[in-house]
Structure 1
Amino acid sequence: MTDNDPVLLRTEGRAGYLTLNRPRAINALNHPMVTRIAEALTAWERDPAVGTVVISGAGERGLCAGGDIRLIHEEVRTGGGDASLAFWRDEYRLNARIARYPKPYVALMDGIVMGGGVGVSAHGGIRIVTERSRVAMPETGIGFVPDVGGTYLLGRAPGELGTHLALTGAPVGAADALLCGLADHFVPSDLLPVLGKDLAMAPVTDVLPRYAREAPAGELDGHREWIDHCYAADTVEEIVDRLLASGEPAAKETAESLLAKSPTALKVTLTAVRRARRLGSLERVLEHEFRVSAAALSCPDLVEGIRAQVIDKDRAPRWSPAALAEVTEQDVARFFAPLGDRELRLACA
């Protein structure tokens, strides 16, 4: 292992440390990184000397900005998407593994934690946010749908907060991440280095109480009334209508934000979050998310969304269809169609 490896692994005392190490890309995940994390978890699960696993991100910007969507864009355009689907298959398996990991898995969710970064952190047993944390599932803005178990997590948030975050992709800070069940503890960012060192010497249950603090006030709790009312509607069109009619300036801004996103992604996301509430286990939800992701590879909005937001950065995606009314129930249903022998099958614990 060298300092240039995309995932740095080390053990010290009773802890195993995973450091995502692509700081220039805010530690965006690719397939080799997922494989390396999975291999480390296997080795440390079998190692009686390792009592705790700690995951963090290199650099100053955050734990992980998500999957490397530049790679996905290029691969879908030139290779048809098979490599992207293989990446998601192993990534979702890793997400399920993290959720069931038999040893304490401590995620230091400092800075930007989005998309796939949520997948490698928010399914862990001990999830720590800081005053710098910005946690989000921003997929609808690139013509995609929250995955990596994101619909499972957001489907379990209080009221309709998860629906709001899934559709808008809005980032939340520490207090709101705690409110929505995406994190467990707040620790000031300047205390993370010494917290990490102490985990090498003692169990997390002994260490964490010395560092945990009350998080600064958030924003979502003050918006619960209009969020819960507007997002309880049956369709995305009705949600937008309620937002525009609510009289709340923040609700109107939210409606305008939604209308700029992929109409197909919005409708599929609403269905996915509501299905996730009924499916029960994380594994079943991940299996359904895999179907959605596979379908997205043949949908023009994913490539177009990444082009507009990341490649050309013109911020002017040309969605197809371009309006919510043009996305039919049949269009949405095909995202959830069984994949036959390509299905992702995960065992439930």
Structure 2
Amino acid sequence: MINRLPIALTLGDPAGIGPELAAAAWRELRSTNQIFFWIGPASLIEGGVPVNRISAPAEADSVFAHALPVIDMPCHAPVVPGKPDPLNAVTTVASIELAVQFALSGEAGGVVTNPIAKHVLAQAGFPYPGHTEFLAALCRVPGREVMMLASPELKVVPVTIHVSLRHALDSLTSERIETVTRLTNAALKRDFGIASPRLAMAGLNPHAGEHGMMGTEEQTIIMPAVERLRSLGVNVSDPMPPDTMFSATARPHYDAAICMYHDQALIPLKTLDMAQGVNITLGLPIVRTSPDHGTAFDIASSVTSTAGRASASSLLAAIRIAIEMSQHRLGAKK
């Protein structure tokens, strides 16, 4: 049984590589059952690939083989590749809101978000630090959002996300570690079909504190969370030295790594396989993934240009993982 609910792909920043990647992804997937529709200005795609304007997600299936299904959402200002305009932030945000609405209503199997420019949205008064927090608010589960970065080589989950390193260290608590780990454990079962997830817990300090010689957070903050998690049946390791836990010999022994702060998680994943990296938001009632790169204004070009240099590898991976997660949530077999 194949889940035929289409995936909603958002606009992202229209001046970035999102439109170009949407067109490239359709070219790659048009002869498959990996169906998605794009929410954004049809004019940014037309001329590069065939476009079919649709009014509802259910129409995507019948047109996908011969045209990119688009729910047309025009921008407020002219779009110039590489030159973002805060006037178009309202369309970027509206695209995300509509995609989430479709996923919550069961019309879409999940949401894949094209990259946004946080500073551009901030100029327009957007009050959230990024996609992750905004999606949690739209789904009415603020504070439950958990960011996973996944690639074929590694899955990582940072306990603290879009805050300064100093703030991350100050805000690290046993309770937050426990919450993030429990949500990760549940998601690996529900969304990835892993019956008994194995979780690796990263230490915070060099050598995981070296028994308190190089820091005590492992003993005072991390281990209490580990012990509580184990009492709940979660298979999680003691705090591991962060400088060795991502090695080729260590990675096969766990399904995901719980990391204490943003860069501790993202540096190893992006070093290993940035092209296939996917950003996944756990803890939501909907499936949400995103390519693990930014807007790339410096290489953005129009869909009709022959000079496009953007790779669709990460977006394709995000669409495929979103479909896989949606299938697992519906209890369908691939």
Q: What TM-score do you get using the length of structure 2 for normalisation?
A: 0.29
Q: Tell me which protein shows more helix as a share of its residues.
A: 1
Q: Which has the higher contact order (CA 8 A, sep 6+)?
A: 2
